[in-house]
Amino acid sequence: MQNDKRQRFEVSFRSIKYPRLEFKTGKLLLVLPFGQNPEAVLNKHKKWIENKERLIKDYMKEAEKKKIFKREEKEFKELVYSLIKRDCEELKEKVNKIFFRKMKTKWASCSKRRNLTINTLMKFLPDYLIEYIIFHEIAHLKERKHNENFWKIISKKFKNYEEMEKELFIYWFLIWKEILF
């Protein structure tokens, strides 16, 4: 955490029970219950915040070595549909509906109703990362939570899933920097 007086974080007060710290776009967001003191939360989690800021700085540096992939919307959707079909067959699962929209905090999501929402910003990723994301979401049809069983499903196809997760984080910052700002 920087020691200067400039605020390196935003605060959002909500009707929640426990505070949450998020680094979605490189800036710290404190999501706090109404009436909670932001400084107390910052002090309590100072070490975690410093480590996360260091990691993000390293990832942003690595992002400079990566390139954005250019892909037409139609080509992107065809790729996604084919991957969903393939992965559903492989995992013996079925998707209800597929939605495409720009999302601010995640690459994709899978609802309890078996609907997939695909972040249109994925079209800037290399194919192998799109493949990973789609498989990851289809795996959620088998296992909702990111628990040991979920990661076993993932590791059967992607032994290097931890590296993939890191790359997605790096690309997240690259896309935010080059496309969204």
Provide the whole-model pTM: 0.81
| Predicted local confidence at residue 122, as pLDDT | 96
Average pLDDT of the chain is: 91
CATH code given to domain 73-180: 3.30.2010.10
The confidence score (pLDDT) of residue 132 equals: 98
In sequence order, the 6+-apart residues with CB closer than 8 A to the CB of 8 are: 1, 2, 27, 28
**Predicted pLDDT of residue 2:** 44
Q: What are the boundaries of each domain within the chain?
A: 9-63, 73-180
| Mean pLDDT value across residues 35-62 | 91
Quick one: average pLDDT of 49-69? Answer: 89
Q: How confident is the model at residue 180 (pLDDT cuts 50, 70, 90)?
A: low
